[in-house]
Amino acid sequence: MASGLRTVSLARTTREESSRLERLPTVRAMGVVLIGLIAAFVFWFLRRTDDRLGTEWIAALQHTQLVSWKNEPGESPPRPRFSPDGKMIAFASRKGGYPDLWVQQTLGGAAVQITRDEWSDWSPLWSPDGQQIAFLSNRGGEVGIWVIPALGGVPTLLHLIPQATTGRLNPVNLIAWSAKRNAIYYEAQRNLYALDLTSRRATALTSFDPHTSRVMDLSLSPDERRIAYVDVQGGQADIWILPLGEGKPERVTASQDEERFPIWHPDGRRLLYACKWGGIYQICLWALGGRTPKRLTSSEADLFIADVSLDGRRLLYSLSKDESDIWGVNVQTGQEVQVTTEIGLELWPAVSPDGRLLAFQAKPESSAGGDLFHAHLVVRTLDGEDAAVRFTTAGFDPAWSPDGRRLAFLRRGSDGQLDLWIVPASGGAERRVTRGVYHGGYGLLPFYRLQTRDFSWAPDGRRLAYASMRTGASNIWITTLDPVEDVRVTENADRALVFSCPLWAPDGRRLAFVSETRGASEARWTVWVSEVERKVMLPILRSQDVVRLVGWVDSGAALLVAISAGSRLVPYMAREIRLVRVTVPEGKREPLGVLVEASVVTVHLSPNGRTVAYVSRADGRDNVWTLAIEGGRAVKRTENRDPRVYFSTLAWAPDGRILYYGRQASWSVIKMIENFPEKGDFR
């Protein structure tokens, strides 16, 4: 009889189960991989769709030019503002001769000038009802907030800003006119202030240290509860947001490239700003809480966002175009020759001691953005018809060693400091020799270097002198090259005293340099001579007027200085500049002559120490002139016929026969984007 029970092989079952269990992790892994691939594809597809849509609306933006003009000296990109109804704009321009205010309809037509005077007027701001325009002006010699009817009239003073500093590194700007608070917000001394229009009292709303802080470009949120601003930390300029009252600042951007001029969108959820992209400022958009910014433009010139209409649909921005080439003029024949023809900027020429090579700095972009410290150094030959480029490297402000074998130059480091480098004249291995060099700055139009030299070679070619604030106070230093060693020449601890322009005497044993005492009632400018080995420092000239050290004359027995009325060294034309010989060490002064309608920062001494070259507008146009310092009349050497072409820093050839100079022009343009999306996913 058969039984209902079955006999099962346990060994076989165990082997099959084991095999199945061994295959299970592989199957699961393959499933995970497959799911991951599907998820990655979905993410890629959505991201691609998002990017495509983002690109489409950006590409559809309509750009309309509203106004343009050829710039006057000292003019920087304008900051135009919309009227409350968005039908008009107000802006400041020098196109009438002085910095005045203008208004223009956005639908077209000619701009209307609403201020006409010799004072500087800037930073226009519309009243909430559109009937008035507030602006900043230095009328009466003090910076204040003024108001004028929107179509012109008599300006009225609202408030004087105490101790206002209007320089490029510490600006004063109007930010917003609040109907809710009946107040005007403005930026001064790196802080935000609110001017109550009823009491005429100003209140500080932030507490940044004006002496140590590098905060700038303040912008008030639409709800008036937050500010966006730029702060430079570790040499990096990023955008931050700070709640007014109590709250901690929050960094918005963290790019290695520079960001400037944040502007709030009226929805309070987006920021527009100027972002460096490939060395050129573009317009970028950041949605708060978003992933990455969106670049709205791809311009070959620097673009600066200026304002957003109240409906959020239109953007105002400005751009600046610069062009500078190096020319040379034979001082004996008057023949002028164009040396460089590339697009962009070429300026600050330096001729090698044998006269065969020319070093200069270049920026291939069509605008400099006010920053010449990010440039390329170019060395090319001057012999023959086909000049050849020897080498290029990142850097600016070149200076040849006395034997012509090496070239010293400055380069901005990643921490924002200026470092001093040397390189063989034929190119090759570069060497950084010191850090933290102080540079005296430059003008914007034209791009004059303000000091004769910001560092200089000793006659033996083994040492370089420079100024630095590495100890917290300004001092003159010397770096030796073999071996590299920094030696402090001065022992200054006064932070109000700023040294610049170290120039070696022909004997290599003495240094001349200049100091400026900032914020003092006594003599502001002093010329010093130091015996380097003995560390003896002797003042040989003191002046309340601006003093620029030109060079050593009489085989090192005297110094040539140029003196101009005023307290600040500026690159603009002065009615007259006095040339004075000062004996060393006696300090005896001897007047040598007067330069008419000239810029003190353009005066350069010839290699033999007998002639000065300079730029003058005596005939209403920039031209190169020369004057023998022992007597004689000034002689015009160039024949520029365009009143809006400007000449920048000069350089003599070693034999004194040719003068090289930059020939520069600049344009400002205001444009409008008309169809900016009011809503959408901008993250």
| Amino acid (1-letter code) at residue 228 | A
List, for residues 20-61, the tens digit of each pLDDT value. Answer: 444 545 545 455 555 655 555 544 444 444 444 456 889 899
Least confident range from 38-47, 183-192, 253-262: namely: 38-47
pLDDT of residue 212: 80
List, for residues 606-665, the tens digit of each pLDDT value. Answer: 999 999 999 999 999 999 999 999 888 999 999 999 999 999 999 999 999 999 999 999
Say yes or no to pLDDT of 3 above 50.
no
Collapsed DSSP state (helix, strand, coil) of residue 458:
coil
User: Nearest Cα to 230, choosing from 196, 179, 281, 180?
Assistant: 281
Q: Which two tokens stand for residue 232?
A: 């430079």
| Amino acid (1-letter code) at residue 284 | C
The 8-class DSSP code of residue 593 comes to: E
List, for residues 491-528, the tens digit of each pLDDT value. Answer: 999 988 999 999 999 999 999 999 998 765 566 899 99
Nearest-angstrom CA–CA distance, 507 and 505: 5
pLDDT of residue 63: 95
User: Nearest Cα to 317, choosing from 671, 60, 75?
Assistant: 671
Least confident range from 158-172, 217-231, 252-266: namely: 158-172
Measure the CA dihedral 396/400/405/408, to 10°.
Answer: -40
Q: What is the mean pLDDT of residues 326-344?
A: 93
Collapsed DSSP state (helix, strand, coil) of residue 10:
helix
Mean pLDDT (the chain) is: 88
Nearest-angstrom CA–CA distance, 284 and 531: 54
Between β-strands 574-583 and 112-113, what pairing exists: parallel, antiparallel or unpaired? unpaired
The 8-class DSSP code of residue 556 comes to: G
Contact 418, 373 (CB under 8 A): yes
Q: Which two tokens stand for residue 284?
A: 């970028």
Would you give the end-to-end CA distance of the chain in angstroms? 82
Query: Which residue(s) pair with 134 in the sheet?
Result: 125, 147
Q: What one-character-per-residue DSSP string does 115-142 give?
A: --SSS-EEEEEE-TTSSEEEEEE-GGGS
List, for residues 432-468, the tens digit of each pLDDT value. Answer: 999 999 999 998 888 999 999 999 999 999 999 999 9
| Amino acid (1-letter code) at residue 513 | F
pLDDT of residue 392: 82
Say yes or no to pLDDT of 345 above 70.
yes
User: Nearest Cα to 281, choosing from 261, 310, 266?
Assistant: 261
CATH number of 437-656: 2.140.10.30
Classify residue 236 by burial, with Cβ atoms within 10 Å: 0-12, 13-18, 19+: middle
Would you say how long the chain is, in residues?
683
Q: What is the mean pLDDT of residues 545-571?
A: 92
Count of other CB atoms within 10 angstroms of residue 1: 2
Q: Which two tokens stand for residue 414?
A: 């990643």
Strand runs labelled E in 34-163: 63-70, 81-82, 88-93, 100-105, 112-113, 121-126, 132-137, 144-149, 156-160
Query: Which residue(s) pair with 162 in the sheet?
Result: none
Nearest-angstrom CA–CA distance, 300 and 368: 11
The pTM score is 0.79
CB within 8 Å of 593: residues ≥ 6 apart: 578, 579, 627, 629, 631
Instruction: Pick 125 or 291 by higher pLDDT.
Output: 125
Nearest-angstrom CA–CA distance, 132 and 148: 6
Q: Which two tokens stand for residue 324?
A: 């500078």
List, for residues 397-433, the tens digit of each pLDDT value. Answer: 999 999 999 999 999 887 778 999 999 998 889 999 9
In which residue are the tokens 């920048």 written?
648
pLDDT of residue 50: 44
Nearest-angstrom CA–CA distance, 620 and 37: 72
User: Nearest Cα to 190, choosing from 214, 168, 159?
Assistant: 214
Q: Which two tokens stand for residue 430?
A: 């570069």
Q: What is the mean pLDDT of residues 137-162?
A: 93
pLDDT of residue 13: 41
The 8-class DSSP code of residue 442 comes to: B
